[in-house]
Amino acid sequence: MIYSETIILSALVIKVNHVEKKQERIILVTNKNVYNILPKDGFSSFLSSFVQGARIKRKIPYANISGVTMSRHGPEFVLHVQNEHDYRFSSTNLKMKIVQAIT
């Protein structure tokens, strides 16, 4: 069986956790999943981090995403994931592109 997954978009975002701590992440949107990736040493080593130790924190299949909420006036958006907690992200410049790629 051939498993083909195509990258649609990748971007640096800020993930806001349940205690309001902001964490740098890479969001990777493919035709099958959304990935929350912890960069190795920040965005400056974005490309090399894929090869040398970036860590996938979460793989979210589209089938598990029950909805996306987007702030009207700010940079935040939230992925609502079935049987998990919501994932809150912030992207000043790419919010619309990320949400469009996911939906």
pLDDT digits 0-9 by tens, 20-72: 999 999 999 999 999 998 887 655 455 544 445 568 888 999 999 999 999 98
Q: What is the pTM of this model?
A: 0.79
Average pLDDT score over residue span 9-23: 90
* 76-81/55-61 β-pairing: unpaired
57 contacts 40 by C-beta, under 8 angstroms: no
AA letter at 98? I
Q: What is the pLDDT of residue 39?
A: 81
Q: Where are the beta strands (DSSP E) in 1-103?
A: 7-16, 22-30, 33-38, 55-61, 65-70, 76-81, 87-90
